[in-house]
Amino acid sequence: MSGVLDDVPESHRDLLRSALTATLTTIDGRGRPHSTAVWYLVDEDGQLKGSITSDAGATVSDAYGPRRSLAQDEAAAVMVASDRTCCVCRIPGRPVQLHHIDGDRTNADPANFAVLCLDCHNETQVSGGFGRGLNAAQVRLYRDAWVAAVAERLRGQVRDIGRRAAAGEPVIGAPPERPDDVIDRVLEEAEQSARLALRHMEAVLEREVRGLLASSGWGQGRYDWTPADAIERLHELGVVSQSLHRSFKVFETGVQTVVAGNAPISTEDLLRALDVGAFTYRALTAIPRERHYVVHANLAVYRDDGGRDLVPGVFAVVLRTIGPRPRSPRDQAFLSTKSDYAVGAEVSWRWADQPPRVLGPAWYLDPPTDQYAEVASVDFQGIPLTEIA
């Protein structure tokens, strides 16, 4: 036998020739140890083999019975109520999961679930010793307080949007159309004609992938991407997963079959292709990205900080960049030779063609402060996303 045993004295080798148990301890993100039983041995090739035992999991299953999960719409409601944010630490952007508050994995009552990040979920597993973990009563209090805070924040946002709309003000960064609303319209159309609905879904996906490339800058300033080329570009960049890339290809094949009309296709096949398209669209809309909105447009630019020496043909545009979470919205001014921006418009992330033309330094009158502010940038040339797709 060779390999691991080469460095083990003969007097101790018998310890590795039969399955033995050991304790594997890992340290989590907060420096706490977590121990798990493992078995190990050296196989005939001299390789050390091991596996995590399933005893602990079996004990939990025996105690509570088969694990039960929420229905998809119920799970979505719990997540949305917590803004997909841990109710304990409230740190946005962390990976989260649904936690059974009472520890009973067979209890699938939506009231028995809380949204926790991985670290805070580990706190619910701590018991005994000097450390005090999160018990069910504490998690329930954290959950209820956070859900109430999220609801109040959303109500405030709705009131603010309503006030701005009533006053005729543009709403900066208003949430884009909900994916479910788009899909519902397509499915309603499918009740009349599955073929037309499939082509409608094709147009929806084309608009989404082009908009994603344009708003993020991943499209390298191009706006003429075909859907197939756009998804390939996003896949090459690692923005979309292999499964999402594959589902898009499956949908595309279904559309091509319908367009060609060389072979009969059943309504069931059409609806199946629509289902793949809906999944693909939802996944694309969930990709984190920056969105850029015009806050102040076409501001005069000067060579001095007193507003005396006007720079002809150059303007300042202030953009509000929103996302990806957990970053807060931020405003920044850029110089541009374009003078047709509209306040409230979502625009692409694009600069003047190569070689880049640097404008400034220059000054513009900042509307919020009524003070002259300095700015210098490459010539910004973003265009409204509504003009792209």
In angstroms, rounded to a whole number, what is the distance separating the alpha carbons of residues 99 and 67? 12
Dihedral over alpha carbons 155, 157, 158, 159 (to 10 degrees): 90
Half-sphere CA count of 161, side-chain side, radius 13 A: 12
pTM for the whole structure: 0.56
Distance between CA 15 and CA 41 in Å, rounded?
Answer: 8
Q: What is the dihedral of CA 191, 196, 198, 199, to 10 degrees?
A: -160
* Residue 3, both tokens: 């390999």
Residue ranges of the domains in the chain? Answer: 4-53, 72-150, 179-285, 291-387
Closest CA to 178 of 286, 265, 74: 286
Encode 16-46: b = buried (16+ Cβ within 10 Å), e = exposed.
beeeeeeeeeeeeeeeeeeeeeeeeebeeee
Task: Of 191, 177, 198, give the one whose Cα is nearest residue 278.
Answer: 198
pLDDT in tens, the chain (389 residues): 445 556 656 665 565 555 555 666 665 444 445 555 555 655 555 565 665 433 333 333 333 455 566 777 788 889 888 988 999 998 877 888 899 998 888 888 889 999 999 889 888 877 654 456 788 999 999 999 999 988 888 777 667 656 665 666 666 766 567 888 888 899 888 888 888 889 899 999 998 998 889 888 888 888 888 888 999 999 999 888 888 899 899 898 888 887 777 667 787 888 888 889 998 998 888 888 888 999 999 999 999 999 999 999 999 999 999 877 666 788 999 999 999 999 888 999 888 876 677 888 999 999 989 999 999 999 999 999 888 76
